[in-house]
Structure 1
Amino acid sequence: MKPAPFDYLRPATVADALAALAAGGDDARVIAGGQSLMPMLNMRLVQPRLLIDLGGLSELGTLRAEDGWLTVGAAVTQAQALARPGLTDEVPLLAAALPWVGHVQTRNRGTLCGSVAHADPSAEVPLCLVATGGEVVLRNAGRRRTVAAADFFLGPLTTARAADEIVESLRFPLAAPGSGHAFREMSMRHGDFAIVACAATATAERIGLAVGGVADRPTARSWPLAPGGALPPDLDAHLNAFAWELGGDDDQHASARYRRELVRRIGRTVLEEALSCRS
């Protein structure tokens, strides 16, 4: 199929983009890399009258570490982030997850902010943002506001972003000394949507697990370590309770029962890896 007719705008500044978005209202959509929106346009799942392209705005193409955060602008592609020197030290969980995002060709176009704005429950970048306690910076013509990742995702393809706002940037906290991280997912083949994805973090006192692909949004839980810094003796019970809490449905890819078992097994594996790799 082909998309329904629309007007295309490539603004010169962010201010121009925000003004056009405010004027366009519900009939306007924002695009950066297009890896999520273009298929929806072609299938006519969305039919905007105006498409506003942010991809050429240099002020949204910044990727910088300062004040304890790695800030990723809306025009930064997944390939650019993955190629960043030092990403493994700055946000090791993101560095571990990005190779699982699509394929080389799609990562050259797809943006991190676009993945977060799309809010697919199986996507890796939203999962990492939730797992690390990151933030989403939203901006419209009149203000800028910051929303915690855990509060940003409301359901499948549904977020706290207002119609006149863009996801201006993402903020990932820089990894603390002595912390550990691990990521794994199960899919039909590499690059497909995850059946279950697990992102783990570990500090001197706690372990955390975030899961995607099961609930209607990425979801995280954490537990205190046992004395001596070992995994809690009742970890399997915690993972079982978390797996049931996430719910999940039967579909053409996997049953809810299978997804629960993946949460238990992959969850334990990544938590063990995160704990063992603390620097």
Structure 2
Amino acid sequence: MTSPSAPSPSLPGTFALGGEIAVPRLGFGAMQLPGRWTRVVERDTAVAVARRAVELGARFIDTAAFYFSPRARANDILREALHPYPADVTIATKVGPLRDADGEMYAEAAPGQIRGLVEENLRQLGLDALDMVHLRVGRLGAVGGVSIGERFEALAALREEGLIRQLGLSNVSAEQLAEARAVAPVAAVQNRFGVLDQGDAALVDLCAEAGIAYLPFFALGGGHTALEGEGLRTVARRHGATEHQIALAWGLARSPSVVQIPGTASLAHLEENMAAARLVLDEDDMELLGRRGSQT
């Protein structure tokens, strides 16, 4: 392990994942580092972005073996950029979707395939144990109504073996969360949620009450929701910030359980995202944006 680098003093408070792993509430998502089938990201740029994220104070990094393009894999980039990983950096990955060589998610892993997917992440990242593994359910839309118990049991068994430290869920309903919690402790939920996409609000509150981290994906739209609106523009002007920065600050203010994980393959966008930690939204801002919250 390398020596931990000091996070920026401007970063928001920390959240203790599973009551054990304290991370600043503004992290980094690695999904965009490999580029896409139609968008090339130079390897040197991707490596530089991952390193800069840690320099700027990101201590929670979200990745997955199924984050890949024809040219690169997110896990390989993280390993090149950060291995041996700083002692205070937490890396979380996901298992569940099966992707073919063309990038299509063609199926979900059966319980018997979970071990192989976890071991794939271990090999790619160069680790003996993973800080956190989420069971990812379905694709983009929340699934609901589908039992996840057997798959989560398979993941929990690997935690008992010491291959995983904390367990999480992604793209799940409140009922699926309850089903998983009956099997083993859940440290985090990663679902779609943002200032313009607040449909998961009840689950955000449930997580806060239960001491479970909530990690929004597509908090900045993700190309699926246009990040625009008069409220966002007004609050951005008040703070001399961008709409993206306000969207990140809104999530941090919305719930003390939120850990933001914005992703980018651009150094300029990374700097912009991490600077959102300096923003403190007041009650007027939160009401204008659609929901009151409190900074903690």
The verdict on a shared fold, with TM-score over 0.5 as the criterion, is: no
- Considering only CA atoms, is the larger Rg found in Structure 1 or Structure 2? 1
Q: TM-score range by the shorter chain?
A: under 0.3
Higher RCO (CA 8 Å, separation ≥ 6 residues) = 2
Q: Which has the higher strand share?
A: 1
